[in-house]
Amino acid sequence: MITPQEIEEKVFKKSVRGFNCDEVYDFLDRIKVDYESLMRENEALRERVKMYNEQLDKYTNIEDTLKETLITAQTAAEDTTSAANKKARIIVEEAEFRGKQRIDEANGRVIEIRKEYDNLLSEFKIFKNKFTALLEGELRNIDEMCSNIDTTLISKYEWRSAMESYDEEESMHDDGFEVEDDVHPTSAMEIEIKEEEKDSPESIFNI
């Protein structure tokens, strides 16, 4: 099982078209916090289940004790004299009543404990599914973001290549034409490109 320390110390290899390091490590930090919270909740659930199991064992022992007491009382009643039979029957009846009452209480408590355990288990599964869906959604967002960045970079490189070809063709005709005011035909386009480069993914990621 992955520990929060392993998430914190995880190192990713860098590549030309890799993810943004800051975003990846920020995301890992969020995962670490949520994972630690999940582990604490899971540990708390385990402690509660342990406590309920201990209570269940306690009530089971009580039930066994009551059964043994009842059997002992019945055996003793059979060995008594006829003069004590009436009193023995009263004692047995009272013991049976108390025993049944306590057994019913113990059984009712066991049912409640089982219900609480099932509810806790259901809540844990719901939380796990929501957390898994959250992680998958974040990963899809990262993939979409990287895909958009790649598309923008490719378009910019194609445009720059076209402009370089255009400049080469213009330079071949410079000897036969006169350009007014020393303004290059592509100056307006180059200015527009420079303006676009300010907000381009390359300038953002320092490519």
For residue 204, is pLDDT > 60? Answer: no
Q: pLDDT by residue (tens digit) across 119-160?
A: 988 998 998 888 888 888 888 888 777 776 666 666 666 666
Mean pLDDT value of segment 108-117: 88
**What DSSP string runs through the chain?**
---HHHHHH------TT---HHHHHHHHHHHHHHHHHHHHHHHHHHHHHHHHHHHHHHHHHHHHHHHHHHHHHHHHHHHS-GGGHHHHHHHHHHHHHHHHHHHHHHHHHHHHHHHHHHHHHHHHHHHHHHHHHHHHHHHHHHHHHHHHHHHHHHHHHHHHHHHHHHHHHHHHTTTT---GGG--TTHHHHHHHHHHHHTSHHHHHT-
What is the pLDDT, as a whole number, of residue 170?
64
Q: What pLDDT band is residue 47 in, cutting at 50, 70 and 90?
A: very high
Place of tokens 């004299």: 81
What is the pLDDT, as a whole number, of residue 49?
92
What is the pLDDT, as a whole number, of residue 179?
44
Mean pLDDT value of segment 79-106: 81
What is the pLDDT, as a whole number, of residue 198?
47
Q: pLDDT by residue (tens digit) across 164-201?
A: 666 666 666 555 444 444 444 444 444 444 444 444 44
Q: What pLDDT band is residue 45 in, cutting at 50, 70 and 90?
A: very high
Q: What pLDDT band is residue 2 in, cutting at 50, 70 and 90?
A: low
Mean pLDDT value of segment 111-119: 89
For residue 11, is pLDDT > 80? Answer: no
Q: pLDDT by residue (tens digit) across 149-158?
A: 666 666 666 6
